[in-house]
Amino acid sequence: MNLKKADYECWNQAAFVTLNEFIYLAFGCEPLDVGPDKNAYLNLSNNDVKEFYKKTKRLGEELPLESTAETEVKGFLVREPKYEAVFLIKWAKSKNIKVNSSYNPIESEERQKIQLSRNLVGRHTLSRDEFVQMLVLYNPDRNETYFKTMLLEAVHSSKLHPLSEPHNYSTLPEERNFKFQTKPLLQYASEIGWVTPEELHDKNNKILDKQDPKPQEIDIHPNRLKTMLTIILSMAVAKYKYNPEEKRNAATGMNAGSIQADVQTLASNLKRTNLNFNIDEGTVKSLLDEAVDALLK
């Protein structure tokens, strides 16, 4: 019985596979039917595949028959239950079973939901793109464009208030990845009828209630923010000879005469030695880059 090379372009889009399918795909071959007695692999002419199949099938007897915290199992009452492909890859590697490097299946929707929820729980703020990614998973009847449009309309109507951050003023509002406080964002989603994970509400409420209810970010009007960036860039150019066209600037370094060096002496110059104004060179460069992006590009 001859084998064909696995069509990974197709199989990588399958979140669930049977153990039989997985064994062939892990080796690099297009899966064959398991056979009425589950031993069709014995008819293979390729001894390497046959031995690989036999070894993996034997180890596969320990796989769960029903869904667990580790993996969702579909059709556990039928002859060939289906497992999450990414779970099987992780399991195989733990058993020192080599898996073809071209086999990179997508995660199941449930696994994506769990992972995304874990990443977002307890966060004081969420970006628009993070929130939209979650909404698309939990509301499959709506797409990314719909949610982005709705959130932008909520901002324009003052139902949602994004946090002020330095940004490129040439970027269109619909392209900006706004940041929002988590609690009002979840409340807005509930009011409009969007489905969001319960654990995100419960755990965020418990964690955020222990935090300072006041926003950590300072709400700055865009015009005022632009003025501040203008002042920062003007001082950097006039006093520190900062040149945005140069890749290396003494102004953004750590040596004497740099902005960082002067910040370190600020407390003593003000005779306020109980204060600490230390910043790193990366922060200086980052702020100046933001000023350049906002004002000169």
Taking only the tens place, the pLDDT of each residue in 132-149 is 988 988 898 999 999 999
Is residue 103 in some structural domain? no
Residues 238, 200 share a domain: no
Is residue 148, in this structure, part of any structural domain at all?
Answer: yes
Residue 245, both tokens: 């066209």
Written as one string, the DSSP assignment of 167-222 is: --TTS-GGG---EEEHHHHHHHHHHHT----HHHHHHHHHHHHHS-SS-SS----H
Same domain, 182 and 239: no
The answer as to whether 104 is a domain residue is no
pLDDT for the residue 74: 81
- Domain end, chosen from 154, 186, 210, is at 210
**Same domain, residue pair 77 and 142:** no
Q: Which pLDDT belongs to residue 73?
A: 81
Tens-place pLDDT, residues 49-84 = 889 998 998 888 888 888 877 777 887 656 788 899
- Which residues are 18's β-sheet partners? 82
Question: What per-residue confidence (pLDDT) applies to 215?
Answer: 47
Number of structural domains found in the chain: 3
Could you write out the DSSP letters of every residue in 57-93?
HHHGGGS-SS--SS--EE-TTSSS-EEEHHHHHHHHH
136 and 161 share one domain = yes
Whether residues 194 and 133 fall in one domain: yes
Per the domain annotation, does 125 fall within a domain? yes
Q: What is the pTM of this model?
A: 0.47
- Same domain assignment for residues 193 and 147: yes
pLDDT in tens, 34-47: 777 677 777 778 88
* Whether residue 240 is found in the same domain as residue 285: yes
Question: The domain containing residue 198 runs over which residues?
Answer: 109-210
- pLDDT tens track of the chain, all 297 residues? 678 899 999 999 898 999 999 999 999 999 988 777 677 777 778 889 889 998 998 888 888 888 877 777 887 656 788 899 999 999 999 999 999 999 999 887 777 777 777 777 778 888 899 899 889 888 989 999 999 999 999 988 888 888 865 555 566 767 788 888 888 899 999 999 999 888 777 655 554 444 445 545 556 777 888 898 899 999 999 999 999 888 788 888 777 788 888 887 887 788 877 777 777 667 888 888 888 888 887
**End-of-domain residue from the set 210, 239, 263:** 210
- Quick check: is 51 in a domain? yes
Q: Which of 179, 210, 241 is the last residue of a domain?
A: 210
* Residues 181, 119 within the same domain: yes
Residue 216 placed within a domain: no
Residue 103: what pLDDT?
93
Q: Is residue 99 part of a domain?
A: no
Instruction: Dig out the tokens for 218 from the structure.
Output: 């300072």
Establish if 33 belongs to a structural domain.
yes
Q: Are residues 239 and 153 in the same domain?
A: no
Q: Are residues 62 and 113 in the same domain?
A: no
- Same domain? For 70 and 119 the reply is no
Q: Are residues 188 and 270 in the same domain?
A: no
pLDDT of res. 76: 60
